[in-house]
């Protein structure tokens, strides 16, 4: 299954803008995309493992391997289109 990892922090304005978009897409793509959130302040080790230097950062994985990443806020339709372009199978 395709997995989206959302690297964010509570103090990050663009992260707060994207949060409702991510929540909507989580409902729309249920069963097709696994959504995961990583708070970079609370889990610096995972952020470091993925080489996250800016937030928000969104990483797409297929079969446990990174296939793409996106940094920064986007509109819902652009973000959804990017995410759907990487759906497995």
For residue 19, indicate whether it is catalytic: no
Could you tell me if residue 17 is inside a domain? yes
- The DSSP secondary structure of 9-66, one letter per residue, reads -TT-HHHHHHHHHHHHHHHHTTTTEEEEEEETTT-HHHHHHTT--SSSEEEEEETTEE
For residue 12, indicate whether it is catalytic: yes
Could you tell me if residue 29 is inside a domain? yes
pLDDT band at 86 (very low <50, low <70, confident <90, very high): very high
Q: Which of these is catalytic: 4, 5, 15, 55? A: 15
Could you tell me if residue 44 is inside a domain? yes
Q: Which of these is catalytic: 12, 18, 22, 38? A: 12
pLDDT tens, 38-74? 999 999 999 999 999 999 999 999 999 999 999 999 9
Q: What is the pTM of this model?
A: 0.95
Report the domain count for the chain: 1
pLDDT tens, 6-32? 999 999 999 999 999 999 999 999 999
- pLDDT for the residue 3: 97
Average pLDDT, the chain: 96
The residue range of the domain holding 9 is 2-84
Could you tell me if residue 89 is inside a domain? no
């Amino acid at each position: 299954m395709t997995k989206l990892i959302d690297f964010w922090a509570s103090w990050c304005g663009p992260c707060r803008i994207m949060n409702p978009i991510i929540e909507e897409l989580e409902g729309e793509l249920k069963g097709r995309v696994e959504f995961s959130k990583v708070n970079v302040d609370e889990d610096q080790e995972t952020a470091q493992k993925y080489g996250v230097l800016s937030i928000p950062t969104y990483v797409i994985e297929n079969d446990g391997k990174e296939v793409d990443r996106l940094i920064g806020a986007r509109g819902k339709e652009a973000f959804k289109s990017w995410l759907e372009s990487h759906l497995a199978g």
